[in-house]
Amino acid sequence: MQTVVELTPAGSNRQYFRVQDEDGSVIRVVGKDRDENRAFIALSNHFAAKGIRVPKVLEVSPDGMSYIQEDLGDDLLYDLCAQGRAKGEYSPAEEELLLKTISALPKIQYIGAQDLDYSVCFPDTEFNARMVRFDLNYFKYCFLKTTGVEFNEIRLQDDFDQLEYDLLEDIGNTFMYRDFQARNVIIKDGEPWFIDFQGGRRGPIYYDVASFVWQARARYPAALKEKLTDAYLEALSRYERVDRARFLKKLRRFVLFRTLQVLGAYGFRGRFERKHLFLEAIPDAMDTLDELLRTPFPKYPYLDSLLRELVRADRERRAQQPAPGLTVRVGSFAYRKGLPVDETPDGGGYVFDCRSIHNPGKYEQFKRLDGRDAEVIRFLEDDGEAAVFLESVYKIVDAHVDRFLERGFTRLGVSFGCTGGRHRSVYCAEHLAAHLREKYPQIHVALTHRDLPK
């Protein structure tokens, strides 16, 4: 009897299925891009022939859109190091796995590059100026411009040009894995096996070391980063003469470049695609940047100063965040400008429509006022409609807050909308916020009026 179970693809756009019968199990992969599939299949065959631990490809569909590969199991290095990541302190067993993994990297980069036909690589054959510019612009447009920090684009581009030149001065005839990180390593029989290398290409060895050792979400302590770098250099010495000082100088530029690329990715996936997991990862990347800037980058003076300003602004923002506990976000908005966007990781809460309440905005004497002004408050309270409306709201929201406090939830959103976002919605938001602050002094209430004139 055969069973088929779909596996979680993580960040991939491919589908994975574990197919199991009495003879064992294999992994069926359904790709979205024939060239990407072709790259993985060709690289897997090449690496396996070189003695590198990768899953063997067992069968390929006639159209090239799916293939069957060896099943290596479910023990991702990322999962096996979860406790160290959570505590910021890695156990000896976790350290051993990490050191084994980084020590295996030079073999992939050097032996894997021998006789490799780079034309199979996807989507490009080598690390080049185009890739550097893509990633630096990724950072600029998807992260930097979303922070509100002002900057001079010409001066920033001057430093980007210099960084590009420095990154490309020593590409080497080596294989660059491109996404060498703990999620792409499976531990089988105590040894690291490597997956998801189809984005690899000819490129500098420093990029993969930066990707692995300075992976933002791993939170490796400084001492462990040094151990991992030393383990890599020891393994590297089997393939070339190692000049430690020169290597570390070049590596530091790639750590900077990789950190900017990661911030761009987190900005795009979090702030544009609204995937909250990536928003939550931004502080880790900013901590990596903060640590990196403890030593200046004199060759990139404007970039250096701009990044320091970003770190300072991020530190201030995080200091202003509410203490742990339940935060209730209360806000007003105008329906004519669309519903508010919920940027919290778990979402949830209420949107109340205030347009059934008598509208002060229809009267000339109230048009320049808003729901916080005494005249508007008096108007809304005279006929009792607002009070009846809010009495119902209080019952619903109070019940929700009580349950969230019992269950340890941390976020609840309540929004009030009216036609212009100025009178009825503002009045209701102000009164709910005051009610919650009085009844629940242990919670944090964040009040915003999205569409009031600034």
Question: What's the mean pLDDT in 308-314?
Answer: 94
Q: Is the pLDDT of residue 195 over 70?
A: yes
Alpha carbon distance 163, 261 (integer Å): 13
pLDDT for 344 beyond 80:
no
| pLDDT, mean of residues 149-163 | 97
Is the CB of residue 418 less than 8 Å from the CB of residue 425? yes
Q: Is the pLDDT of residue 334 over 70?
A: yes
Give 279's pLDDT tier (boundaries 50, 70, 90).
confident
pLDDT of residue 358: 94
Mean pLDDT (whole number) for 143-153: 94
Average pLDDT over residues 371-389: 93
Burial annotation 247-262 (CB, 10 A radius, 16+ → b, else e): beebbbbbbbbbbbbb
What pLDDT is recorded for position 347? 65
Overall average pLDDT of the 3-16 stretch: 82
Of 163 and 318, the structure prediction assigns the larger pLDDT to 163
**In whole numbers, what is the pLDDT of the chain averaged over residues?**
93
Give the pLDDT band (50/70/90) at residue 340. Answer: confident
pLDDT tens digits, residue range 396-425? 999 999 999 888 888 899 999 999 999 999
Checking if the pLDDT of 140 tops 90, the result is yes
Q: Specify whether the CB–CB gap between 282 and 262 falls below 8 A.
A: no
pLDDT higher than threshold 70 for residue 356: yes
Query: Token pair of 209, please?
Result: 């070391």
Q: How confident is the model at residue 453 (pLDDT cuts 50, 70, 90)?
A: confident
Distance CA 28, CA 17 (A): 5
Grade residue 273 by pLDDT with cuts at 50, 70 and 90: confident
Please tell me the CATH code under which domain 3-70 is placed: 3.30.200.20
Burial class (CB in 10 A: 0-12, 13-18, 19+), 342: middle
Task: Report the percentage of the chain scoring pLDDT > 70.
Answer: 97
pLDDT given at position 383? 86
Supply the pLDDT for residue 410.
Answer: 85
What are the domain boundaries of the chain?
3-70, 77-319, 327-449
Identical fold between 3-70 and 77-319: no
In this structure, of 88-97, 150-159, 269-278, 437-446, the range with the lowest mean pLDDT score is: 269-278
Helix axes 385-407, 424-439, angle to 10 degrees: 40
Q: Give the pair of three-digit tokens for residue 5.
A: 């179970």
- What CATH code is assigned to 77-319? 3.90.1200.10
pLDDT per residue as tens digits for the range 214-247: 998 898 999 999 999 999 999 999 999 999 999 9
pLDDT interval class at 343 (50, 70, 90): low
